Chains A and B, each alone.
Chain A
Amino acid sequence: MRRHDVQALATRPDSAAERRRAEIEVFLSQHSQRLVGALTLITGSRATAEDALQEALVKAWHRKDEPIEQLAAWITVVATNQARSGWRRSQAEQRALTKVGGRATRDAAPTAEPDDALHAALRALPERERQVAVMHYVLDQSVAQVAAALGVTDGTVKTLLSRARAHLAAQLGMTDEGDDR
């Protein structure tokens, strides 16, 4: 956002809300595709991923003391937790069902799965391993960042990552050759 835009917002009575909106706008313009994709990999549903991200951002909206930019990991965890709840899942399914026969559902277009083997391997992972793997590999979060976001120790994240990595490698027929770990 240009400097004078921010200054203009600051002089308005609802500047706090406007600034938060601007922050979220910038954040989403940079990260929404990757975040929705990451959440889709975790939850298995694009519609659920979008709903969950939306809910998480509404919660982030009220955490005004923290810059949105630093909340990527937190938003991922909140969104994943949102997506886990059964009612949300069924809500999303319900909405998808009502759209059948009408315009295309959100799940229909973008969830082409060219890497079927990878998706199958991900689905076979325990949810926590899948979540940690996606946060680390897709969102480029360090072990410490993932641990902080999940509220667990670095050791737990390392264990989960190691298991996820081994499971994925086995499923995908990949080897550790050339790996420095």
Chain B
Amino acid sequence: MSLDDELRRRLQQAADQAGAGTDPAALTHQVTKQAAVGARPPFRLLGAIGAVGLVAGGALGFTALQPADDTNAGGFGATVNVQRYSMYDCPDGAAVGTVYPGDRVYVIGRNDAADWVEVRDPRDQTQQRWLPAVAVDPDAVRDVPVVPCNEEIALTPAGASTTTIETTTTSTVPETTTSTTIVETTVPTTVPATVPPTPPPTPAPDTQQPIVAQGTRSPAEIYDGSWSSYCDISSALTVVATDNVGVTQVTGSYAGLGGSPIGFVKGSGNTWTATFGPFVGLPGSYSQDIVISIVAKDAAGNTSTATTVTVHVWGTCLI
């Protein structure tokens, strides 16, 4: 029996022993369940406040988000993008919470420049927060009404018979007038029709860390460059770095091989790129996973937590 055949036989036997007792039905069930959780239905708001609808779910226990079966004029349900974002009480105001990738938020308005959106706090639907528009679908943002910060939108409490409340609010922004109409329920006399205004925002220093993610490297392994021109290659590194006020620097560091810091260069969008290698004159037996730790900094000096990419470096090259 050849070496290959013998290795195949022993490895397959070991694998079958290691995998014995696997329950395909249970695995299928788990996969189906997880896949279903991943495909959440879109959401909508019911009722109407101007262009945005709400359903009251109690004095302050509102159930604003409902599974969608139609579209709603004005607002829209959105899933937070690939990273976490701080929520603010106003554009460029104080941070008041955080949303995470996959969170569903309901967008109810935007600022003039459409680079900030006002949303319902996914963990407390009674609260309005502001998010950078990049946190949701920026293209859809322009379809929601412009609302100034601290524009309080009436919430409809649960209760009683049907009536109509109409309020008209002229915003501080010229030419922007928001007509607000609620058609749903009567307001009990003991419950105010509107939420009291929140105090004006206090400017806060930027303490938000940048976020660096989606690190990639290609190729995943490089060789001693002295062997041939085929081997004399570097690995291209990319990361996506974001920050509320802007990333100013992305650097990579690693142990071994001299460990020279790697400076990343800003590419398109939030992408930063750098190269790792080539290396020459390594010992022939060298074979090491080099873990490159990448961090981003912003103008205020906040530093992100590191993301890592691993490149395997060989001291030889047989290709």
By a beta-carbon cutoff of 8 Å, the part of chain A in contact with chain B is 17, 20-21, 24-25, 28-29, 32-38, 40-41, 46, 49-50, 53-55, 57-58, 61-62, 109-115, 118-119, 126-128, 133-134, 137-138, 150-153, 155-156, 158-159, 162, 165, 168-169, 172, 174-181
Contacts and interface: CB of A to CB of B under 8 A. Distances in A.
Nearest to A114: B17
A156 B319 contact: yes
Contacts of A34: 12, 15-16, 19
Closest 4 A-B residue pairs measured CB to CB? A37-B19, A37-B15, A28-B24, A36-B19
A84 to B, nearest CB: 9
Contact of A57 (B13, B25, B31, B220): B31
Q: How large is the interface on B (under 10, 10 to 19, 20 to 34, 35 or more residues)?
A: 35 or more
30 contacts: A24-B31, A28-B24, A28-B28, A34-B19, A36-B19, A37-B17, A41-B18, A49-B19, A50-B22, A50-B27, A57-B31, A110-B17, A110-B20, A110-B22, A112-B17, A115-B14, A115-B17, A126-B287, A126-B289, A128-B312, A137-B11, A150-B220, A152-B221, A153-B319, A156-B319, A165-B4, A176-B3, A177-B3, A178-B2, A181-B2
Interface string B268-283: 0000000000000000
B219 A152 contact: yes
A62 B39 CA distance: 9
Contacts of B32: 21, 24, 61
B170 interface: no
A67 B99 CA distance: 36
Nearest to A178: B2
A54 B3 contact: no
Given A37-B16, A37-B17, A38-B19, A180 B2 contact: yes
Interface of B: 1-4, 6-8, 10-22, 24-25, 27-28, 30-32, 34-36, 38, 218-221, 287, 289, 312, 318-319
Contact of A175 (B3, B12, B27): B3
Contact of B15 (A20, A38, A126, A151): A38
Majority SS at the chain B contact face = helix
Nearest to A115: B14
Contacts of B14: 37, 41, 113, 115, 118-119
B35 A58 contact: yes
Contacts of A24: 28, 31-32
A57 to B, nearest CB: 4
A24 B31 CA distance: 9
B312 to A, nearest CB: 6
B7 A109 contact: no
A32 B289 CA distance: 30
B15 to A, nearest CB: 3
Contacts of B221: 128, 152, 156
A36 B289 CA distance: 25
B315 to A, nearest CB: 12
Contacts of A152: 219-221
Contact of B18 (A20, A40, A177, A180): A40
B6 A110 contact: no
B19 A40 contact: yes
Given A53-B27, A61-B35, A33 B22 contact: yes
Contacts of A40: 15, 18-19
Which one of B3, B20, B35, B312 has the greatest number of beta carbons of chain A within 10 Å?
Answer: B3
